[in-house]
Amino acid sequence: MFRVIRVAEPPIKIGKSFSSCEENSRLSIDKMRKWRQAEGDGELYLYNSLTREKNKFVPQSGRKVLWYSCGPTVYDASHMGHARSYITFDILRRVMMNYFNYDVYYVMNITDIDDKIINRARRNHLFSNYINENKASKEVLADIELALQPFNEKLKKTKDEDKLKMLGKIISNVKSKEEKLKNSLEKEEMDSENIKKELLEVAKDPISEWLDKLHGAEITDHNIFWELTRYWENEYHEDMNALNVLPCDVLTRVSQYVPEVVSYIQKIIDNGFAYESNGSVYFDTMKFASSTKHEYAKLVPEAVGDLDALAEGEGDLSQPTSGEKKSDRDFALWKASKPGEPFWDSPWGEGRPGWHIECSVMASDVLGSSIDIHTGGVDLKFPHHDNELAQAEVSIHVL
């Protein structure tokens, strides 16, 4: 079982309310947060996300510290959130190594198989092809009107204030450039082509999403996914180097761990906590929670009924059909690949690893069945890190 000890974090926002059934089925938060202090002496106290307080830090093996850190999903440029997280981890790591003389073995993963990666790679590819077609301005204007229809629908459904502002700004910029191009065409001005290029630049998101809905399933060249991840992984490492963040001792990539992922999932199935459905494999959260040996969502038990967070963790491309899962809370360990998505062979058919399973597999492969420190983004405590804990426990323990 993973012992999660993390750096200091801001107060946790309370998750959405439970239904009466969920209220009756879950254990109390206090009971779920029970944690056994390791025996031994320790001069350092660290904030423990499980207990939500500072606890004495006692490594399992003398001065050796086994540390696993969730790394980036490489589909875009790093941002301030990445910088904040990895600089914080780096400072803590340096203090432990250089002041407290711990022998820290630091492992970090790269997520290079993910719904966001698939979406971004396909859309970039299709948009690039669209630009190369060099359509006439009137055709571009007509296409943009079609592309804005689903984009506006997405805006109406968005509840997050930051996303609302971002989407609204994109639409406003597109409308402004549309009017500029229309006026230029009416006046037969010479700079229409330059205005068309400007319009295409600001309309990339709605056009590429529209193109993906039309043609995403036709993508067969899987190199577009690896080209994207290799590029942004290199950019990430350059950013961290510029910030003077120490490199990890071991770097893992989920694309290099697919056979281990398949074996790990099979172990969870054999132990009775996962099931196959329509070529995908899901973790049985209700069975896990009802077991006397386990509790689900130890880190953020108050968010266990937050279906929006669970859906976001599954990814845009991975929403199951009705009746495919035993419970809405169940999460994908293996996702059946649809046309236009990368895939690997498995006992359940062609598919790809779920997001949560990768860290459990790679951490246990490199560091063993128990580690000293696990770090990652505070916003991922539920469902990502809670699901990691559940997977790690049942890969070892049977029902």
> DSSP of 78-91, one letter per residue?
--HHHHHHHHHHHH
Span between the terminal Cα atoms of the chain, in Å: 15
Q: DSSP code of 383?
A: I
Query: Domain spans of the chain?
Result: 20-114+228-394, 115-223
Residue 78 to residue 233: CA distance in whole angstroms: 9
Query: What pLDDT is attached to residue 1?
Result: 31
Average pLDDT over residues 72-83: 94
User: Residue 374's closest CA among 102, 85, 67?
Assistant: 67
Task: For residue 397, name the pLDDT band (cuts at 50, 70, 90).
Answer: low
pLDDT tier at 13, thresholds 50, 70, 90? very low
The full length of the chain comes to 399
pLDDT at 11: 30
Tell me, what's the pLDDT at 315?
Answer: 79
Model confidence band, residue 398 (pLDDT cutoffs 50, 70, 90): low
Q: What is the mean pLDDT of the chain?
A: 88
20-114+228-394 fold:
Rossmann fold (3.40.50)
pLDDT in tens, 19-58: 333 443 344 445 445 677 788 888 899 999 999 999 999 9
User: Which pLDDT value is given to residue 21?
Assistant: 35
Higher pLDDT, residue 134 or 311: 134
Two structure tokens written together for 369 = 């069945």
* Percentage, residues of the chain above pLDDT 90: 72
Sign of CA dihedral 343, 346, 350, 352: negative
CA–CA distance, 223 with 215 (Å, rounded to integer): 17
Q: Determine the angle formed by the axes of helices 192-202 and 204-215, rounding to 10 degrees.
A: 70
Low-confidence winner among 105-119, 197-211, 288-302 (lowest mean pLDDT): 288-302
Predicted TM-score of the model (pTM): 0.87
C-alpha to C-alpha distances, 266 to 275, 281, 283, 346, 388, nearest whole angstrom: 10, 9, 11, 10, 16
Flag whether pLDDT at 14 surpasses 70: no
